[in-house]
Amino acid sequence: MDDGTRMPVVHDALQLIADGITELMGFEVAVINILDEDDGRLVTVAVAGNDDARELLLGARQRTSSIEAEVARSDPWGMFRFVPAERATDEQLAISWVPEIDVVDGPDAWDPNDFLFAPLYGDDGNIVGTLSIDVPTDGRRPDHAKRAVLNKYAAQTGQAVLTEVARRRLEEQVRLATAARKIVRDVSSELTVERIMEVSQSAISSGLSAVGLWIHTFDEDGEGRTAMYSNAGTDVRMPPELARMSRAAGELLWRAQEVAIIGHDRPTPPIISADQEALVFELLDGLGVSSLLFVPLGAGRECLGTLVLTRRSSDAEWSSVETSTALDIGHDLGRALLNARNFEREQQLVSELRELDTYKSQLISTVAHELKNPLTSILGHVEMLESATDMPPRTQRSVGSIERGAVRMERVIEDMLMLAKVGDPANALIAAPVEMGRLVEDALDLVSLTASRKGLAVIYDPPTEPVVALGDSSDLDQVCANLISNAVKYTPDGRAVTVRLDRRGRDVILTVSDEGLGISDADQQHLFEEFFRSSNPEAVAQPGTGLGLTIANRIVMRHDGRIEVESELGKGTTFRVILPAASVPV
């Protein structure tokens, strides 16, 4: 894989898909590549699940020929292709990220050199992207059921990649003439076909001195259904034969990059037959015009519709400048139409991903609830066992281990339930005045014993007046407890933790500063992600679920607030929570 000279902009939809695979499908890494047609190589634009993989792979490039070679020696798994470790080549290993994992026992064990990827093809049969996944969390190669679900993700990724490739092609192919640039300015911000037609018709007809205009857009499914738009709001009824002719002729003209003029005193253009011309003349006579300029609308290789401009016999002939400008407009309108289609596709894709995210929240909540009851039973039985006086020391140690594990699981479950609660859009926030000083003092009281054991100086100067925020008391109590306990946890013995509470104008500001480990710039980018743990070994050594800051951030966001972070490795970290202040006292 060659290093690229440009760092790509990560496409939101592609990153969401990659994140969804790692979060829901039991893989730690998902990577999406897309074709950069400028140099004919695949560039990595989305990496999810592993910081080392993201740092190594994002922006890296490789030739499509290397993917084609892997396809040739792979086993087909639907859209995916699997290359077992024993078939891996030195070339593949040289351009790949190979994880360090413990290999489980069994014939279906995942080998670090296994390669599972889905080549994504364009309409012309050439590779336009890839989706590759690695490191199954269960350590095993996916079975047939999991492969079926993964193939759905591959199909979804393929649609998003094709959308991105189409956009990139358009950006390179479309060249605006003077008149066409005005059309682009008028329609580029419109995201529906109806609005594109409404905005562009008047400018086109006046710019090209046409007395009539209609636009015929083609469906994507090839079924021949059409949408007709005309100036002056007239309803153009096109006979089925002419509709079929319009599509066939438009596609021929688009491939040739030409326009056609049809009129009583002109020869029949080669794109239509004499019988079709007679039908066109019948339509023209009914509209009271004598000639039409037939313009294909398209983008890239695809013809998306046709533009028809009409003139009376008393009007001037169509000039070469006008026909050239009309073809430029065909490019510009085609681009706008394709962007509208792509926007609709992306909206549908985002909607599907949001549904997946909602499903994930529901799944987390359900699993946590189902685990809570048996875990309570386990802890109850542990308590009973601990009361026994005749237990051997070895058994006592085992019971202690069970209790520690169960307590840790209980913390994880509580955090998962809280995460599901604050992330549930159906769980509306019922805001009320909350005296933040009491919450801060409660949180400080909870950590006082730990701080004392570590010899920490906890500095807090209570405000002279009540500081009242607008929100949910239990949620804001969670924020205070998370931030203050984190400061105490990650501050080495003998140092200080400082807490400040202020009101500034319409804001309540809670500041928690420590003299602890600090957070690297790279880690700060992912600090509020679910289950994120720092890359700092000292921080990883501290117990935690990786959900505390995620929960705090989501609580603050749903209170219309924000969290700011300032940190320097080895010197400490400051978290600043800004919340809306209540206008009335408690």
CA 76 to mean position of chain CA atoms: 28
Q: Indicate whether 7 belongs to any domain.
A: no
Measured N-to-C along each axis, helices 144-173 and 12-24 cross at an angle, to the nearest 10 degrees, of 170
Which residue is it, tokens 């690297």?
520
Check pLDDT > 90 for residue 258.
yes
Structure tokens at 359: 């499903």
More confident residue, 317 or 9: 317
| Residue 111 and residue 30 in one domain | yes
Buried b (16+ CB within 10 A) or exposed e, 489-524: bbbeeeebbbbbbebeeeebbbbbbbbbbbbeeebe
| Residue 364 and residue 385 in one domain | yes
Q: Indicate whether 6 belongs to any domain.
A: no
| Residue 140 and residue 212 in one domain | no
| Residue 329 and residue 468 in one domain | no
Residue 509, helix vs strand vs coil: strand
Query: Taking Cα atoms as reference points, which of 539, 486, 477, 456 lies closest to residue 448?
Result: 456
**Cβ pair 176, 184 in contact under 8 A:** yes
Give the DSSP letter string of 171-190: HHH----HHHHHHHHHHTT-
| Residue 299 and residue 165 in one domain | no
Q: Indicate whether 333 belongs to any domain.
A: yes
Q: Indicate whether 5 belongs to any domain.
A: no
**pLDDT value, residue 11:** 64
Beta strands per DSSP E along 20-156: 27-36, 41-48, 61-63, 75-77, 80-83, 115-121, 127-136
Q: In this predicted model, what pLDDT tens digit does every residue of 307-320 receive, in sequence order?
A: 898 988 888 788 77
Q: Indicate whether 25 belongs to any domain.
A: yes
**pLDDT value, residue 518:** 86
- Give phi and psi for 471, each to the nearest 5: 175, -160
Answer with the one of 299, 316, 346 that is the final residue of a domain. Answer: 346
**Cβ pair 534, 518 in contact under 8 A:** no
Rounded to whole angstroms, the Cα distance separating 517 from 540 reads 11
Q: Indicate whether 585 belongs to any domain.
A: no
Q: In this predicted model, what pLDDT tens digit does every residue of 484-510 receive, in sequence order?
A: 998 998 899 999 999 999 999 899 999
Confidence of residue 8 (pLDDT cuts 50, 70, 90): very low
Q: In this predicted model, what pLDDT tens digit does every residue of 512-567 receive, in sequence order?
A: 999 988 888 888 887 887 766 666 555 544 555 567 788 888 889 888 999 999 98
Answer with the one of 171, 201, 228 that is the final residue of a domain. Answer: 171
Which residues, other chains included, contact 120 with Cβ-Cβ below 8 Å and sequence gap of 6+?
A: 127, 128, 129, 130, 131, 154, 157, 158, 161, 162
- Residue 521 belongs to what domain range? 432-580
Strands 127-136 vs 27-36: parallel, antiparallel or unpaired:
antiparallel
Q: In this predicted model, what pLDDT tens digit does every residue of 430-449 receive, in sequence order?
A: 888 999 999 999 999 999 99
Which secondary structure element, helix H or strand E, spans residue 55, and what is its range?
helix 51-57
| Residue 229 and residue 197 in one domain | yes
Strands 457-460 vs 496-504: parallel, antiparallel or unpaired:
parallel
**Cβ pair 468, 585 in contact under 8 A:** yes
Number of domains, the chain: 4
Which residue is it, tokens 């991903």?
353
Confidence of residue 1 (pLDDT cuts 50, 70, 90): very low
Q: In this predicted model, what pLDDT tens digit does every residue of 330-354 receive, in sequence order?
A: 888 888 888 877 887 777 777 777 6
CATH of the domain at 325: 3.30.450.40
CATH of the domain at 529: 3.30.565.10
- Give phi and psi for 45, each to the nearest 5: -115, -10
Answer with the one of 369, 398, 423 that is the final residue of a domain. Answer: 423
